[in-house]
A and B are shown apart, each in its own frame.
Chain A
């Protein structure tokens, strides 16, 4: 990691400081530890040996001895030459060097010895040296040399029979911005033998990245054209440089660079837009989970529940409790705590909802504005209670392993798993709520009360009980939203407050009475927010979304999907 970083930013001072540090840490115990680790390391690295490679021992003794030569230039040159050979023997020597197993023996240091386990081999001839010489010094590559060595090791891994190792190596070379020009021939060899199209693509790109450094304009031209196929943002800078006459003398190369740059920029733009729309969808599905319950309670009872954000918070804290319980008692099933947290959050939020409705809210029907204040008061009490129980600080919740990582869609578009799962979760909750509202008797009652409370009461719908159930349902859905939130944001007593305004905007924009309104509004707000955010920043995104909502309300005062009907007030 540090080495990669250094290779990008060759800061002399830091470099030399690190060198000193490494020398200091180089101690006999380290050699011992390396020796213990050796057997399996050796097993691991015996794999890259590839039968189709040519040549064998002995290696050119002069070349091998240059690995211990004077000055970085000599050393790196030797490494490059050995890499170009790409024979199993060269691989063995270089691997030994990379793993601090290359030693110098003999009084004048004439012998270079590769140590494998408790055996020693002559680096040049490959013959076993026994007994193992007593007095050995390590050939120590400093950081500058190590950078080259790392690239070499990656290049050599391209000959590994395992596809995954080759792919990873190829990506690594691409990420570090290609390699030295001398490696151009080896890339051709790799391309000739590689059968996997994905790796081939990356190697072509790497070859092009190397090619643009070439002194031959023809090579540069073809390289620049190849770079146009890439969608890697890092290449943009390189191509921009090459459109400048100061850096690029050949005009046809400049023209090709400009063309490639345009195509690259378009790909980057598409990639960014895809990412933004995706994060927008992800934000939208969180909003949906948070606002769905609110839309139901508001639709049925006409009250705004200011404590709705706190119900989200309760859901998240229920997840936290389950998380800790699993960690302490069922560590082996820890990854599945989230599955247990879903019903837990559902029930705990529903219970709080029922208590709220039965004790306070039912006495305030018909006084919507005052309910707003009361529920705000309840939210303060809930926040303070959670603070007293769990402390004021944010709690740490570890994501299950299956929720971490991401899916790569394009080279510059990575979709994190947890966000994908949240979108799926939101869809699942939405489907269940839709089924509940449209396919059950309870749902029928809820819809009837939403549309006309008095009439529903007249035909025998127990409106008071429906109110309680609807409020509990809304609260429970908020609890589910809390489970989702616990995976992507901080879990703390005040977490709910940040979502209140957004939830309400969703409900106001979408209108009540139909799920479609909430869905469209949350997705719309999510995507517009993220698209604007990319250009203007988060604050202006909020301001613009607010302005859009006020404008939409000019046209549709009851929201996008208001129930049609004759209502009088």
Chain B
């Protein structure tokens, strides 16, 4: 292979084919240009106006889609089913939320430089882990570093002892559960049950202004596209091939002289970081972060996004995230009592009838029609 000699940027851009690039360009045009323009330029009542509700909803779902892409990297390509992605997502959200809380300034209910929940607990100063979070750059760094570090340490111990399959799924879920309990406590320093909310501004700009919404929306979309491209690049590289080999026959890869620990650990940590970034983008758009993001059910749902879209396709899980979440927001309004039935059936039927997901179904149909 000439991989080693081709410049990185060329390799990066050859990660996907021509159709792929066209699709990406269209999606970028739509979400980075068209939607923000429609949201900002048109008024309520115009045919092209896109309301705040839809901008927020789609922006939120794009953050979920980023998480689904990360899920596909570890589950679809490394065969590691993690039930803790919601934890990394929430950690990223909390890290950026700390910045948002501090930039409320003196506008809180108690007019204190401390967040309201700390005033409520009668704390006089920020705990040590809140240090420097008034810096925007540092909190972005924290949103990447905190999930990354946790994933690295946890992954190191777990992968080293070659825990895999359902065992790994269960242990990751237990970690998630432990953190859920930890963040539920008031004296952990993250607002307990209520979490962070009531944000006012980012970098001095009003967080609820249409401009800020459009910016966050475009940023989410850009991040999603970047995650997709980066994922494509990683899985088509030599590293990605070995990763897939580990997924399919770990023993054989070991006997060939590779140590699966570092391969798995890298993609696991990267996936956690991507989730963290998604969380950091998610929080300013929905305006709240609380421990319910770490609920075990949420993390399992992430797996079903990936399964519905089609594992090992990268774009599939992103589509899956859109399908599930759009139907969720429709169902919970139209037939709230049937949503759990629908979701449950989705879990059962997709795994039973659509093992390749929607992308697999599309490929099958296309193969049949060309035959």
Partner-B contacts on A (CB < 8 A): 298, 302-304, 306, 360, 363-364, 367-374, 376-381, 383-384, 388, 497, 500-501, 504-505, 507-508, 538-539, 542-543, 546, 549-551, 553-555, 557, 568-569
Contact = CB atoms under 8 A, between A and B. Distances in A.
Given A370-B355, A497-B296, A304 B169 contact: yes
A381 B174 contact: no
Choose among A371, A373, A384, A568 the residue with the greatest number of B CB atoms under 10 Å from its CB: A373
A543 B178 contact: yes
B173 A368 contact: no
Contacts of A303: 166
B337 interface: yes
A384 to B, nearest CB: 4
A374 B347 contact: yes
Given A360-B348, A553-B163, A388 B337 contact: yes
A302 B343 CA distance: 25
Nearest to A303: B166
13 contacts: A360-B348, A368-B165, A374-B347, A377-B351, A378-B344, A384-B341, A497-B296, A497-B297, A501-B170, A501-B296, A539-B181, A546-B175, A550-B158
Contact of A377 (B167, B182, B344): B344
When A and B form their complex, which 10 residue pairs have the shortest distance between CB atoms, in order from nearest? Answer: A377-B347, A380-B344, A381-B344, A384-B340, A504-B170, A377-B344, A370-B351, A377-B348, A539-B181, A304-B166
Interface in B131-176: 154, 157-158, 160-163, 165-167, 169-171, 173-175
Nearest to A543: B178
A304 B175 contact: no
Contact of B348 (A367, A374, A500): A374
Given A378-B344, A384-B341, A553-B161, A504 B174 contact: yes
Contact of A376 (B170, B178, B300): B300
B347 A550 contact: no
B30 interface: no
B181 A377 contact: no
B296 A374 contact: no
Given A360-B348, A374-B352, A377-B346, A505 B174 contact: yes
Contact of A569 (B160, B175, B251, B304): B251
A380 B347 contact: yes
Interface in B165-222: 165-167, 169-171, 173-175, 177-178, 181-182, 184-185
B355 A508 contact: no
Given A372-B166, A504-B174, A543 B343 contact: no
B286 interface: no
Contacts of B235: none
Contact of A504 (B161, B173, B348): B173
Choose among A370, A371, A497 the residue with the greatest number of B CB atoms under 10 Å from its CB: A370
Nearest to A539: B181
Contact of B171 (A306, A364, A549, A569): A549
